[in-house]
Structure 1
Amino acid sequence: MNYVIAPSPTVSLPIVGSEQRFPVRRVFCIGRNYADHAREMGATVDKETPIFFCKPADALVSDGAPLPYPSATADLHHEVEMVVALGSGGTSIPVAEAMTRIWGYGVGLDLTRRDLQAIAKAKSHPWDVAKAFDHSAPMSALVPASQATLSDATRVSLSVNGQARQQALLGEMVHNVAEIIAALSRLFELKAGDLIFTGTPAGVAALQRGDTFHAELEGIVSLDGQVV
C-alpha cells in the first residue's frame, strides 16, 4: 500500500525471556479502583459505574528509556499500576470468561499532570491533557500469563529514590481484573494488543527531574527508570 506520508512504527513492548515483542494497539486505564486512593483525592467510588480513560499507545516508555519531564506542568505525579495485556478480545465479555483473554502482565506508571487535572476537574472538563500526554506511561516488559502466578495477596509497589511511596495488594482493587475487562468490553470492542492499567493505590505524589523509581509487581516483574 502506498501512503502519502511514512506510517508511524508499531508501538511494542519487550517480553521477559524472549526476543519477540508484544505489539500494542490501545491503552485503557481505570480510575478510582482503590478506595484509599479515591479518598486521598477527595473522591468517592461508584462500584456500579467504573471510570475509564485512554492514553495513546505512543505514550508508552519502555526498554529502560529515560523519562522526560513533561511540559506545561509543575506537579507531575506517579501512579503505579498492574498492567494487563490482552491476547484476544471481544464485546460484552462475561466476567466468567474475561481472564481467558489475558496474554500477560506487567507493571507501569500512569503519570498525571496533577495541576492540569485539578483545573480540568474544577471546570468539569475532560482529563486528556492531564493523562494522555507524551511519555505518560512508563512500562515494564511483559510476562506471559502462563508464567505468572497472581493472587489477591500479590503486591504492587513503587519506591522513589529508594523510599517507599505506594503499595497495595491486588485484592484491594474495587473492580477485579475480570470485572474490568468485562466492563470495558461493554464500552469498546477489545482486541489483541490492548493494554489495561488496572488502577493505583494511595500514596501518589510528585516526581522531580533526577528522581529514580522502582515499580514492582511482586514476584512477577519490575520497572526501573529515571526522570530527566
Structure 2
Amino acid sequence: MKLATLRLNGSTAAARIDGGSAVLIEPYSSVSELLRNPNWQRIAAEAAGAVTDLADADYAPVVPHPTKIVCVGLNYANHIEEMGRELPRYPTLFAKFPEALIGAYDDIHVPAYADQQVDWEGELAVVVGKKARTVQASDAGEYIAGFAVANDVTMRDYQYRTQQWLQGKTFEGTCPIGPTLVTPDEFSLGATLNTLVDGATVQSDSTGDLVFTPARLIEYISHIVTLQAGDVILTGTPGGVGHPTGTHLSDGQTLTTEINGLGTLRNTVRVAAPVPVG
C-alpha cells in the first residue's frame, strides 16, 4: 500500500495511492495524523473518499508532523570507507527538526548567507507506525509503518563549524521526503538508491549496504527515547556526496533522489537574494 499527504484546496489530506489516482482517507489531514490511529492500516485500506487524479498532485512532506526526526551518519559501508574511517560499533545519531521537511517536488530553500557548501545526501527514510520503547531488533518490523525517499541536504560550512552536526543539518525548507510512504509488504532492503544533480548520477548504491539496518536502528534508538507513530528515521547516505571533492549545489540546479520501489524526489535549489544593506 502507498500513502501520501496531498495539498488540496488550501489544506492537506491523507490519501491512498491507487495507480494514477489518490483516494482521500477522510477525515485525516495527513499521513502523520492517520498513523496516530492504531487502526491506520485498516482505515487506509478501506478508505473510499473522494478520488483525485495524480497528474497534477501537489505532494506535501509524506509525514509533515513527526514528533522527532532521528538521522544516522556514516551508515553505508562504502561511504565510511570513502571517509577513511572504520566500521562503527554503534550508530552515529543526530536530530533534524520538522521545519526542515519539504514535499517531493518542492524547491529547496537556501538562504543567501548559507549557499557556499550546499551538499546532497540521498537517503532511505523509515517511518514509525506505533509507539516504540526498548524494542528488540527481532520485533522491530512490527513498528515500521513504511519507507520513503529523502535527501538530507546539508550546509557543510555550518555543519563543520563545531563537532556537533545539527547546525548544518536542519536548515528550514531543505529536506524533501516522500513522495509516498510504501508499506513493508511492498518494499525490502536491497533496492538501489540513486542521487542525480542536473541529470548526472552522483550517488548509486544498494540499500542493502547499510551497516545498521532499520530494525537495528529502531532497537538502538528506542532504548534511548520513545519513538512515536509518524516519527522518521533517516538511515544515512552512501558514498558520492559532493563535499570531499569540493562539489556543491548552486542556485537553479535540480536534485533528483530515487529508490527503486519507493519513488522519486525532484527538487530545485533556490538561493534567496541577499537582503540589501542600508
Shorter-chain TM-score bucket reads 0.7 to 0.9
Q: 1:18 to 1:204 in 2, by over 3 A?
A: farther
Q: Take 2:264 and 2:24, find their aligned partners in 1: how far apart are those partners?
A: 18
Tell me, which stretches of 5 or more residues in structure 1 are unaligned?
A: 1-9
Q: Take 2:15 and 2:134, find their aligned partners in 1: how far apart are those partners?
A: 29
Q: Is residue 159 of structure 2 the alignment partner of residue 104 of structure 1?
A: no
TM (normalized to structure 2)? Answer: 0.71
Find the counterpart in structure 2 of residue 165 from structure 1.
Answer: 202
Q: 1:186 to 1:12 in 2, by over 3 A?
A: farther
Does the 8 Å CA contact 2:191/2:259 hold for their aligned counterparts? yes
1:1-228 matches, cutoff 5 A: 16=17, 17-20=22-25, 21-23=30-32, 24-25=65-66, 26-46=68-88, 48-70=89-111, 71-120=113-162, 125-145=163-183, 148-151=186-189, 153-205=190-242, 206-228=248-270
Task: Give the aligned residue type for 2:24.
Answer: E
Q: Take 2:223 and 2:13, find their aligned partners in 1: how far apart are those partners?
A: 26
Count of residue correspondences: 213
Q: How much has 1:64 moved relative to structure 2?
A: 2.0
**1:81-134 C-alpha deviation (Å, 9 max, x unpaired):** 0101111122110101101111121101111111222332xxxx3212111221
Q: How much has 1:149 moved relative to structure 2?
A: 2.4
**1:134-189 C-alpha deviation (Å, 9 max, x unpaired):** 123111222331552223x3111111101001011111111111001111101110
Q: 1:88 to 1:168 in 2, by over 3 A?
A: same
Find the counterpart in structure 2 of residue 6 from structure 1.
Answer: none
Task: Give the aligned residue type for 2:206.
Answer: L
Task: Give the aligned residue type for 1:144.
Answer: V
Larger relative contact order (CA 8 Å, sep ≥ 6): 1
Does the 8 Å CA contact 1:80/1:110 hold for their aligned counterparts? yes
Does the 8 Å CA contact 1:15/1:142 hold for their aligned counterparts? no
Q: 1:11 to 1:193 in 2, by over 3 A?
A: farther
RMSD (CA atoms): 2.2
**1:178-225 C-alpha deviation (Å, 9 max, x unpaired):** 001111101110110101111100000121111112111112211111
TM (normalized to structure 1)? Answer: 0.85
Q: Take 2:72 and 2:16, find their aligned partners in 1: how far apart are those partners?
A: 24
Tell me, which stretches of 5 or more residues in structure 2 are unaligned?
A: 1-10, 33-64, 243-247, 271-278
Q: 1:144 to 1:77 in 2, by over 3 A?
A: same
Q: 1:95 to 1:147 in 2, by over 3 A?
A: closer
Q: Take 2:255 and 2:232, find their aligned partners in 1: how far apart are those partners?
A: 22
Q: Take 2:122 and 2:15, find their aligned partners in 1: how far apart are those partners?
A: 19
Task: Give the aligned residue type for 1:61.
Answer: I
Identical aligned residues as a percent: 28
Q: How much has 1:43 moved relative to structure 2?
A: 3.5
For the pair shown, which has the larger CA radius of gyration, 1 or 2?
A: 2
